[in-house]
């Protein structure tokens, strides 16, 4: 049974249709599926009540049987904004206009080869190896994934450092008995400039990049570039162990590097790293009790609410639920992200602690239709001196229709 669990998890990543997908074509060689969901919710938070899109998406999967047990496959997925999101704009010419977000936005796009014995190799925009460690707590519909180091840089999709839906990623996966693993490299070239004004405004993220190294004095702020910092390839890996039919253990890491040189010749070199482990009991969609928890330690990996790089932090996420036979599923989640001493000492404006609980009730009407209500209570602590916006309490009611 344990081997079946690992093989099934690996196959889901490689080429088997997901539970929310519909097979629309199949012959002796080719298969095509369509999947995704539509999620509409009414949410009250930050003093406003709105109808918002609940991460709706649509995807297409293609699989082709090749010779000697090999399969070729590809997946394309887009986030969809079907409910509209137009804002009133007033420009410098005293003219009003309407601006709308794009209807489609790329989420995933990869192609690969897979074999039951030799594993799979995929290339493109795909879920990172780190996500294997923490995804089992990322199942709250409205508020989740804010402390696991996945959706970095102000809760984006984790594409920059490859912990979420990584860009330009090459990934290998395989399973042996009760153990499956993933290894990846992100082949990318990013860079950004440090300016005199950024150092004066105390938004410089690197301890070595002090303006005094360049000038020896505190000159007036300018936009002149004084260093270019490169952030190129990243690497990551994960391992999953199905200890029993109910208990799964995960662990993994992800690494990147910031490199640059100041005009003074002073070097800039800091490692973006995260490592951690997770534990899962049961299955979130299965009847009965479900529990998942993961912890991580990271440096130069994520940002605070003001977009400043955190020099060090620890994170914890947990999720508990119980699915009754009638489809009702109460859930409880706890998220905690605390910046460490290096962060507090560098910015010198107090602590950053994101902390909240979510309690809710899901009604799984059938396998492809879910109604839910979720409420968040925020317990974050941010020093007023750093002007970090507070998180907020909130309540959301929604419906999710799986394709």
pLDDT tens, position by position, 83-103: 876 666 565 554 554 455 677
Mean pLDDT on 235-252: 97
Residue 196 three-state SS: helix
If one compares 201 and 242, the residue with the highest pLDDT of the two is 242
pLDDT at 14: 43
* E strand map for 196-284: 225-231, 234-242, 247-262, 267-281
Residue 232 three-state SS: coil
pLDDT at position 211 over 70 = no
Tens digits of residue pLDDT in 136-162: 999 999 988 789 999 998 888 999 999
Determine the Cα–Cα distance for residues 275 and 236; give it in Å rounded to an integer.
10
- The owner of tokens 């297409």 is 60
pLDDT at 217: 38
Which pTM does this prediction carry? 0.88
Count, in order, helices (H) and strands (E) of the chain: 6, 23
pLDDT at 84: 74
Tens digits of residue pLDDT in 354-371: 999 999 999 999 989 999
Walk me through the domains of the chain, giving residue ranges and CATH numbers: 2-89+101-402 (2.40.160.10)
pLDDT at 377: 95
Q: Which of 211-220, 284-293, 376-385 has the highest mean pLDDT?
A: 284-293
Mean pLDDT on 320-332: 97
Mean pLDDT on 266-276: 91
For the chain, give the mean pLDDT.
Answer: 85
Which candidate, 203, 166, 202, places its Cα nearest to that of 186?
A: 166
């Amino acid at each position: 049974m344990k081997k079946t669990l690992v093989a099934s998890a690996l196959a889901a990543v490689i080429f088997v249709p997901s539970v929310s997908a519909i097979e629309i074509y199949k012959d002796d060689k080719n298969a095509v599926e369509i999947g995704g969901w539509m999620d509409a919710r009414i949410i009250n938070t930050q003093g406003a009540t709105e109808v918002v899109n609940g991460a709706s998406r649509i995807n297409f999967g293609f699989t082709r049987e090749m010779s000697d047990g090999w399969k070729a496959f590809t997946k394309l997925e887009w986030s969809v904004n079907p409910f509209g999101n137009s804002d009133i704009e007033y420009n410098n010419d005293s003219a009003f206009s309407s601006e709308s977000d794009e209807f489609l936005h790329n989420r995933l796009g990869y192609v690969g080869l897979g074999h039951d014995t030799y594993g799979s190799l995929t290339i493109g925009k795909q879920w990172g190896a780190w996500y294997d460690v923490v995804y089992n707590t990322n199942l709250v519909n409205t508020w989740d994934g804010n402390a696991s180091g996945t959706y970095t840089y102000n809760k984006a999709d984790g594409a920059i450092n490859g912990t979420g839906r990584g860009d330009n990623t090459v990934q290998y996966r395989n399973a042996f008995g009760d153990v499956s693993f993933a290894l990846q490299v992100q082949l990318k070239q990013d860079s950004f400039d440090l300016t005199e004004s950024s150092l004066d405004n105390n938004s410089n993220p690197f301890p070595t990049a002090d303006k005094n190294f360049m000038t020896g004095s505190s000159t007036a702020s300018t936009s002149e570039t004084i260093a270019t910092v490169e952030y190129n390839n990243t690497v990551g890996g994960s391992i999953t162990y199905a200890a029993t039919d109910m208990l799964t253990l995960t662990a993994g890491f992800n690494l990147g590097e910031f490199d640059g040189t100041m005009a003074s010749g002073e070097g800039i070199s800091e490692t973006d790293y995260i490592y951690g482990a997770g534990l899962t009991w049961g299955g979130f969609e299965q009847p009965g009790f479900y529990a998942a928890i993961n912890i991580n330690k990271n440096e130069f990996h994520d940002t605070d609410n003001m977009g400043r790089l955190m020099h060090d932090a620890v994170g914890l996420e947990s999720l508990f639920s119980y699915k009754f036979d009638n489809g009702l599923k109460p859930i409880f989640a706890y998220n905690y992200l605390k910046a460490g001493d290096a962060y507090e000492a560098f910015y010198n404006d107090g602590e950053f602690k994101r902390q909240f609980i979510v309690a809710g009730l899901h009604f799984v009407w059938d396998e492809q239709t879910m109604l839910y209500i979720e409420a968040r209570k925020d317990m974050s602590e941010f020093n007023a001196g750093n002007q970090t916006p507070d998180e907020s309490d909130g309540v959301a009611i929604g419906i999710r229709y799986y394709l």
